[in-house]
Amino acid sequence: MSDLLTELRPQASRIAALLRARGEKVAVADGATGGLIAASLLTVPGALDFFVGGGVVYSFRARDVLFALPREAYKGMRGASEEYALLQARAIRDNFGAEWGLAESGSVGGSSHPGGAPAGRSVAALAGPAGEHTRLIETASDDRIANMAAFTRNALALLDEVLGGEG
């Protein structure tokens, strides 16, 4: 894991600088990434300037606690989908009082996904001042650890690109 965090630190530093320049903060809902999105951002010293918190949403109980949405809010949605990830991005942003909400929903492999998503599929979603954005990745792999890393890279790339594009 330290190799991945070391690899992602320059990107996390760039994201931190962009958020700090705007005076904005992000909250993160890690799903199949298992906390790696948040961990990557927290490699930057003084992360309290731009990161308010979040959590790993890996069960229905965690989802209920972090997002505080009624079960009906998810009706008809499946995990690892754009609409599901966007709902999570909005909720984490709003519940943590941040300008940006970044969420990831995916299926890392090694076991079956409760919503039937194929292994290697992840959707990153971002909700904030520049609107709502999603980014899909499909690795077609069942390699759980490699997928966690790929999904984390995908989510950070979305945040980096949207913040950089606002320039």
The DSSP result for the chain, as a single string, is -HHHHHHHHHHHHHHHHHHHHHT--EEEEESTTTTHHHHHHTTSTTGGGTEEEEEE--SHHHHHHHH---GGGGTT--TTSHHHHHHHHHHHHHHHT-SEEEEEEEE-SSS--TT-PPTTEEEEEEEETTEEEEEEEE-----HHHHHHHHHHHHHHHHHHHHHHH-
Mean pLDDT value of segment 39-48: 97
Pick the CATH number of 2-166 from 3.40.50.620, 3.90.950.20, 3.40.50.2000, 3.40.50.2300: 3.90.950.20
% of the chain residues with pLDDT over 70: 93
pLDDT value of residue 110: 66
pTM score: 0.92
Q: What is the pLDDT of residues 61-96, one digit of tens each?
A: 888 888 888 788 878 777 789 999 999 999 999 999
Domain extent listing, the chain:
2-166
